[in-house]
């Protein structure tokens, strides 16, 4: 056998890794209730019609050319307008359109991290923030977020984990997997730490318009003195996750990110471009009607509240109701092995969730993540099974 690279063997992605045993059950004809993946289209949401039409027209009009490596100019202009609405001062030259936020992360980490250099990421965190720094021989360090404080970051813990090797601090706000929304005070504290240590921030804003009660405030507006790379895309707010169109926007300060910008652009040119017709779909999303967002959040609010109620009624479970996104990070009292818990729940009750340690082995352990995307009837059946499992629960 010809061996695979060591770096490829380090790749893990808990959200999809748990699908493997679920598929084995499905091969036996067993229906699995899936609460594992943040894909609205898998449930009862649809990409808005005007966005679908724009992408279809782009295909039918043979907009199949290679686009510029940094993305179509008209899309980048629309992104500039969107960010300016948040008080962020950038130009089209600061934007790279990517194959989803995941590719944006790969470009950033590959450009910013030499072997042994570090990136601070929230714990728990979206798994690529751990996987891809490791892939590029960097070191991801998770900083503590406090469940009892609404999963807000602990600035003191961030300070303790800064070293001479630290290159950046990442913020995911609203957060995946906890649904937390960090207030301006916390963002300012994190930004002050970055400024004091002459490092940059990564601001993942993919759920920016998916807040239940708050209005989104961009960290780039709060911290105008800190160099920052902003991430966003079409997947969540515009209900088109499979389109894989996102962007990174470099909001520089005093040219501190120029070398990293060059490293990102070299990679962007080498991988050619993002999908051209679907960039035009994202253009329609940004410039067209936005009324689907309120309808989406109304449905998600009902489903969030239902899950919170059910969790509160089940002995041994608790959850901090999320302020944004569509995830619930549920604590299991006394759980010693959350992955075993998730796999036993799948095997015995055929409900698929994701183990909390897959989002951080330190700060995620003893939890499992679900999505509150499905209709209440679907969630009801899933939680009936979860409640049964908890009543029958062994010492896991």
Domain count within the chain: 2
Q: Which of 264, 263, 184, 266 is nearest to 231 (CA)?
A: 264
Verify that 19 and 164 share a domain, yes or no: no
**If DSSP states are collapsed to H, E and C, what string results for the chain?**
CCCCCHHHHCCCCHHHHCHHHHHHHHHCCCCCEECCCCCHHHCCCCCCHHHHHHHHHHHHCCCCCCCCCCCCHHHHHHHHHHHHHCCCCCCHHHEEEECHHHHHHHHHHHHHCCCCCEEEEEECCCCHHHHHHHHCCCEEEEEEEEHHHCCEECHHHHHHHCCCCEEEEEEECCCCCCCCCCCHHHHHHHHHHHHHCCCEEEEECCCCCCECCCCCCCHHHHCCCCCEEEEEECCCCCCCHHHCCEEEEEECCCCCCHHHHHHHHHHHHHCCCCCHHHHHHHHHHHHCCCCHHHHHHHHHHHHHHHHHHHHHHCCCEEECCCCECCEEEEEECCCCCHHHHHHHHHHHHCEECEEHHHCCCCCCCCEEEEECCCCHHHHHHHHHHHHHHHHHCCCC
Which of 287, 303, 336 is the last residue before a domain boundary? Answer: 287
Which pLDDT tens digits describe the chain residue by residue (396 residues)? Answer: 998 998 888 887 777 788 888 999 999 999 999 999 999 999 999 999 999 999 999 999 999 999 999 999 999 999 999 999 999 999 999 999 999 999 999 999 999 999 999 999 999 999 999 999 999 999 999 999 999 999 999 999 999 999 999 999 999 999 999 999 999 999 999 999 999 999 999 999 999 999 999 999 999 999 999 999 999 999 999 999 999 999 999 999 999 999 999 999 999 999 999 999 999 999 999 999 999 999 999 999 999 999 999 999 999 999 999 999 999 999 999 999 999 999 999 999 999 999 999 999 999 999 999 999 999 999 999 999 999 999 997 666
- Look at residue 1 and tell me if it is in a domain: no
Query: What is residue 210's predicted lDDT score, i.e. its pLDDT?
Result: 98
- Look at residue 357 and tell me if it is in a domain: yes
- Look at residue 98 and tell me if it is in a domain: yes
Separation CA 256–CA 310 (nearest Å): 49
Verify that 107 and 199 share a domain, yes or no: yes
- Look at residue 363 and tell me if it is in a domain: yes
Which of 287, 303, 334 is the last residue before a domain boundary? Answer: 287
**pTM value?**
0.94
Verify that 244 and 301 share a domain, yes or no: no
Verify that 39 and 69 share a domain, yes or no: no
Verify that 363 and 253 share a domain, yes or no: no
Domain assignment of residue 111, given as a range: 49-287
Which of 287, 307, 325 is the last residue before a domain boundary? Answer: 287
Query: What is residue 12's predicted lDDT score, i.e. its pLDDT?
Result: 78
Query: What is residue 396's predicted lDDT score, i.e. its pLDDT?
Result: 64
Verify that 26 and 124 share a domain, yes or no: no
Verify that 245 and 274 share a domain, yes or no: yes
Verify that 77 and 13 share a domain, yes or no: no
Query: What is residue 137's predicted lDDT score, i.e. its pLDDT?
Result: 94
CATH code of residue 201: 3.40.640.10
Verify that 299 and 356 share a domain, yes or no: yes
Verify that 279 and 366 share a domain, yes or no: no
Verify that 155 and 98 share a domain, yes or no: yes
CATH code of residue 357: 3.90.1150.10
Verify that 281 and 298 share a domain, yes or no: no
């Amino acid at each position: 056998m010809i061996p695979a690279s060591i770096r490829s063997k380090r790749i893990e992605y808990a959200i999809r890794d748990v699908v493997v045993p679920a598929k084995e059950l499905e091969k036996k004809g067993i229906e699995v209730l899936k609460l594992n993946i943040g894909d609205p289209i898998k449930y009862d949401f649809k990409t808005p019609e005007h966005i679908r039409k724009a992408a279809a027209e782009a295909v039918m009009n043979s907009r199949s050319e290679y686009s510029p490596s940094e993305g179509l100019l008209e899309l980048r202009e629309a992104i500039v307008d969107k960010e300016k609405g948040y008080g962020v001062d950038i130009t089209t030259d600061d934007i790279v359109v990517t194959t989803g936020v995941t590719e944006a992360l790969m470009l950033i980490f590959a450009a910013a991290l030499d072997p042994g250099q570090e990136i601070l990421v929230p714990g728990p965190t979206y798994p690529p923030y751990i996987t891809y720094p490791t892939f590029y021989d960097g070191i991801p360090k998770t900083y503590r977020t406090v469940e009892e404080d609404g999963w807000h970051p602990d600035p003191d813990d961030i300070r303790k984990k800064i070293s001479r090797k630290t290159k950046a601090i990442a913020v995911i706000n609203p957060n995946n997997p906890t649904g937390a929304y960090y207030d301006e005070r916390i963002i300012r504290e994190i930004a002050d730490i970055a400024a004091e240590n002459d490092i940059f921030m990564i601001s993942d804003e993919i759920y920016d318009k998916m807040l239940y009660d708050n209005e989104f405030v961009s960290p780039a507006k709060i911290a105008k003195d800190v160099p920052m790379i902003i991430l966003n895309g079409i997947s969540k707010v515009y209900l088109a996750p499979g389109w894989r169109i996102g962007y990174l926007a470099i909001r520089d300060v005093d040219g501190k990110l120029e070398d990293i910008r060059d490293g990102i652009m070299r990679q962007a040119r080498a991988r050619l471009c993002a999908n051209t017709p679907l960039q035009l779909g994202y253009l329609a999303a940004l410039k067209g009607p936005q009324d689907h967002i309120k309808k989406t959040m109304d449905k998600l609010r009902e489903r969030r509240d239902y899950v919170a109620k059910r969790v509160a009624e089940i002995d041994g479970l608790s959850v901090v109701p999320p302020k944004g996104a569509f995830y619930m990070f549920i604590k299991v009292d006394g759980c010693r092995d959350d992955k075993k818990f998730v796999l036993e729940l799948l095997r015995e009750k055929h409900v698929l969730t994701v183990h909390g340690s897959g989002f951080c082995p330190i700060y995620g352990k003893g939890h499992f993540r679900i999505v509150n995307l499905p209709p209440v009837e679907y969630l009801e059946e899933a939680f009936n099974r979860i409640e049964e499992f908890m009543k029958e629960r062994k010492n896991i």
